[in-house]
Structure 1
């Protein structure tokens, strides 16, 4: 059984309605099913599912495809991992790893999967060392001194790496782990022949999840004299995920709000006092990837960062980023303590109150404006207040804030609008519609609206598109072949290598009386076409799809005739050109 057969078996075995119902509540609308999209903040069902073909498409965020794309998007995994996921889901007796070993194939995704598995295994090992051995007692005492109890340790899989590597080497031997694979994860460093150093030794370990995978481990020294205080496994991209999201995402979705902290201990502290909709950004910066990740679950955030000067500066910076990405923002403030974890240890009730009594972002920045020295107020106005107001997309809220700030600052509204107008002109990433909705009369930025399908089809070409389309609508291919065979045979002349592969597969499926296997589309890197095909099928009935296919085939056919006419005219063969002209199909 090769990978092609595995994909075919999955698609033959799966019940599409049952599968998609695991992740979304489906509602039948006509011949299709609609659902609230899990990939963006969706209030009205915008995701369409075709349970006959297994295709899905969201008209809100323009994501779509088949079952493999869905799992890749939902679990943030690659194609090979999505196959493995579906094998497990269907309880199929297929060992994908064994398949690769037997065929002596080395695929990057498999080695990554091995790395993630080892990181998960060692996170569990370190967790056991912390909770169940004498070696971990010092680290356990340290964590308890910071308010982190055993329940939190178990929930977030916090661990401790022992100082003596011999314990780990014994574990490696017992589990029959290849030391070279472990070196590739960054957990072990080779110091010479048969000499190894454990990178996390004497540190508390925090596994960093992305979806259901551990993509790295961060270690915190329990001795404050030990430098650096934090160390990460090689290649850990913290800006691609959010700490704790694997545990808290459903709470965030339920509340439509995420509480944002800087570090691990702060997030754990907030979680401990009952606010389970919390994540840590693992620093004071947030990437666009992290912002997009949050958008899947909420459109409100509450920032609870360090309360010192640098923490306030970070709060302002993050506040503007969140507002510019259409989040509603609140700020939690408290006095006398540096961060949420310090407050948890001394006064957990006060920490709880600071979250309950969080203020909105407008109140936060206007309070800061009032605290500025007279000579600093203009700079604060231009650098903070004006960008903030420029990003407010709700007209009523914008007008209210503008009026309030004018009263606070004693600055005329026309002058404020002029500053906002200039800021928007200088920052074209702010959508023109914001400026227009606020009656600022800003010169319109030209923005051509494109038809997504046409762009993608043009990029890949009509032939490649319609051949890929027939993989999901094979019955139309057979119908056209039966009724208008010349269209198929003439349209698919002079194919390139990729087109030839698809065409040969379709013809072979007809001869063998089997269905096409979409694995070939993934193998040829045509995922973008799959998404567009899903969109077209989801909004079109079968008769219209038939007419649509005929029109594309006619266009391909006519284009080839036009090329032949041009060649005939170039050779002054007017008779042949006239004969060819009679072959053109008129709509």
Structure 2
């Protein structure tokens, strides 16, 4: 780890930082909360102020403040380092800026400067007057223009490129930022030209407020395409981006719900009417990545797409996709206009009333299914169930599925068993022969299943780490430590850790966690970090602690003997097949001794 990273880690308390993302409650020496990286109802996400680390015992993710920010905000290490350094008012050294990830910083700087350039042309230069007049005609205020940093790209083929080249950006950097297009034409001696020309510019700011791209709206209806977006770049991935999230994320968190709309102008007009918990994709339907991004802020979605046929199709697709993510889904069907921008201009109060009581997603789908099918016919009823199948099949909670089946049965005036049977039939039809085409799911990191013996080992290690200072020199404590045979741990990593622990105890007459961690190899240090993050029992006085420690030692030896006995029995069976009588006799004698010892083993 670089010295810069160490300075940043020392300056920022991990509990306070993670607490901005996850509500944490003290649990002994640690803090606990619900994991932000997977769905859970019982908190298994633990933060250690002592080790300045975190770990989720549900999905097995963990690390330090850098890994948390990198996972949560989809950053690489240099980006996370720079972000946290700014939070701590720390100036990074030159060597840190030379890390590969800081190439992205150059692209961000180019995009930021481009945003200022476009905004200046729109608001202060005569070239931008037609665009500014157009925005005013669309009832977009100057305050909104400033809030969303709107701009204008003139008709010139090279004005932005030349502006940025004079500020020491290279053509390759501008190309990688999506600001210019390379040209093979010999007539163009520059071999490049500006990507955006004669367009109103909407900066695309990620949820951290960084400009990662642009969306350019044509000034003339004859100019195609109507909207031109930045290409895929190291910074901008269209299927992971949501317009308006940066401006609306605080409101989304506060209201605990988000409104999904279609267009950039819908977002801006909504903000002008004090509806700021809104986001929109860039001309596409919602994606898995966008849903996961939104779930960092809320689990309650209201779909409010355009009222035309394309909007209805996108609504149904989004509901079906989001249903598998266990979010609350509701729908607003726009009336009095095609899109939200038009509706808010005509009758904003009517929309706000709709917003107070949006329609449940399944009720919306039932209404659409009913309108598409003839429920008086057998074919129509079958089509009705088929239309609703995908949404129901994406529902993970069985109790909710049962409720949906009940509603369908009521509409069709039939038994719930019939509906359930039809749904199962459709499922079999759609999965036969196309299993390989099923929806991909996010796979959580594998969580190795620990044996009972390993858990006993960790219990003993955990108690040693918690030993009160006053007990280190007591005779009972020392006798228990000497009683433990490293062979009992079975695993070499546990055996080595035990040796290092006891050596550390003997040298320092106690446990100094930071000193101990610095002396251990990374594999053993990870075990220590995880043990410190686990719930620690309240031991009480010295006598109670010694009793708990003695119990753990005895349990470890007993577990070792049981496992050894099982191994000997397997060896006896193997020897019997080879008729090795001498080995059989020796093994049986050893097994009898262990059985006798286990039978007479004292209880604690």
Q: Same fold by TM (over 0.5)?
A: yes
Is the contact made by 2:128 and 2:154 (CA closer than 8 Å) also made in structure 1?
yes
**Which residue of 135, 156, 162 maps to 1:164?**
156
Cα distance in 2, alignment partners of residues 326 and 225 from structure 1: 43
- Corresponding residue number in structure 2 for 1:454: 448
Is the contact made by 1:263 and 1:283 (CA closer than 8 Å) also made in structure 2?
yes
Cα deviation code 1:287-335 (max 9, x no counterpart):
2211211222222211111111122122112112222322222111133
Cα deviation code 1:21-58 (max 9, x no counterpart):
55555432211122455556777755321001011124
Where 1:416 maps in the other structure, the secondary structure is helix
- Corresponding residue number in structure 1 for 2:575: none
**Which residue of 195, 210, 216 maps to 1:219?**
216
With the length of structure 2 as denominator, give the TM-score of the two structures. 0.69
- Corresponding residue number in structure 1 for 2:307: 307
Pairwise CA RMSD of aligned residues?
Answer: 5.0
Cα distance in 1, alignment partners of residues 526 and 290 from structure 2: 23
Aligned residues: 509
Cα deviation code 1:451-477 (max 9, x no counterpart):
9442699xxxx9xxx9xx9xxx9x9xx
Cα deviation code 1:511-540 (max 9, x no counterpart):
xx978789x98xxxx9xx999976554115
Is the contact made by 1:64 and 1:534 (CA closer than 8 Å) also made in structure 2?
no
- Corresponding residue number in structure 2 for 1:56: 54
Cα distance in 2, alignment partners of residues 267 and 450 from structure 1: 34
Residues 395 and 75 of structure 1, relative CA distance in 2, 3 Å threshold: closer
- Corresponding residue number in structure 1 for 2:189: 193
1:118 aligns with 2:121: no
1:402 aligns with 2:405: yes
- Corresponding residue number in structure 1 for 2:66: 68
- Corresponding residue number in structure 2 for 1:81: 79
Is the contact made by 1:299 and 1:328 (CA closer than 8 Å) also made in structure 2?
yes
Give 1 or 2 for the bigger CA radius of gyration.
2
Give matches, 1:360-371, under 5 Å. 360-371=360-371
- Corresponding residue number in structure 2 for 1:238: 238
Is the contact made by 2:161 and 2:174 (CA closer than 8 Å) also made in structure 1?
no
Residues 385 and 12 of structure 1, relative CA distance in 2, 3 Å threshold: closer
**How far apart are residue 486 of structure 1 and its match?**
9.5
Is the contact made by 2:161 and 2:193 (CA closer than 8 Å) also made in structure 1?
no
- Corresponding residue number in structure 2 for 1:377: 380
Is the contact made by 1:164 and 1:201 (CA closer than 8 Å) also made in structure 2?
yes
**How far apart are residue 87 of structure 1 and its match?**
2.2
Cα distance in 2, alignment partners of residues 402 and 21 from structure 1: 41
- Corresponding residue number in structure 2 for 1:417: 420
Give matches, 1:236-385, under 5 Å. 236-374=236-374, 377-378=380-381, 380-385=383-388
With the length of structure 1 as denominator, give the TM-score of the two structures. 0.71
**How far apart are residue 286 of structure 1 and its match?**
2.1
Cα deviation code 1:251-300 (max 9, x no counterpart):
22222211111222223233332221111122342222112112222222
Residues 450 and 65 of structure 1, relative CA distance in 2, 3 Å threshold: closer
- Corresponding residue number in structure 2 for 1:148: 140
Where 1:175 maps in the other structure, the secondary structure is coil
Is the contact made by 1:165 and 1:197 (CA closer than 8 Å) also made in structure 2?
yes
Cα distance in 2, alignment partners of residues 46 and 138 from structure 1: 57
Cα distance in 2, alignment partners of residues 260 and 64 from structure 1: 32
Is the contact made by 1:41 and 1:296 (CA closer than 8 Å) also made in structure 2?
no
- Mind listing any 5+ residue stretches in structure 2 that lack a counterpart? 433-442, 473-480, 494-507, 509-513, 538-544, 568-585, 591-597, 599-604
Give the number of the structure with larger relative contact order, counting CA–CA contacts within 8 Å between residues 6 or more apart. 1
Is the contact made by 1:210 and 1:246 (CA closer than 8 Å) also made in structure 2?
yes
Cα distance in 1, alignment partners of residues 418 and 316 from structure 2: 23
Is the contact made by 2:114 and 2:160 (CA closer than 8 Å) also made in structure 1?
no
- Mind listing any 5+ residue stretches in structure 1 that lack a counterpart? 430-448, 493-509, 563-577
Residues 418 and 379 of structure 1, relative CA distance in 2, 3 Å threshold: closer
Cα distance in 2, alignment partners of residues 33 and 20 from structure 1: 10
Structure 1 stretch displaced more, 247-256 or 398-407? 398-407
**Which residue of 153, 164, 172 maps to 1:180?**
172
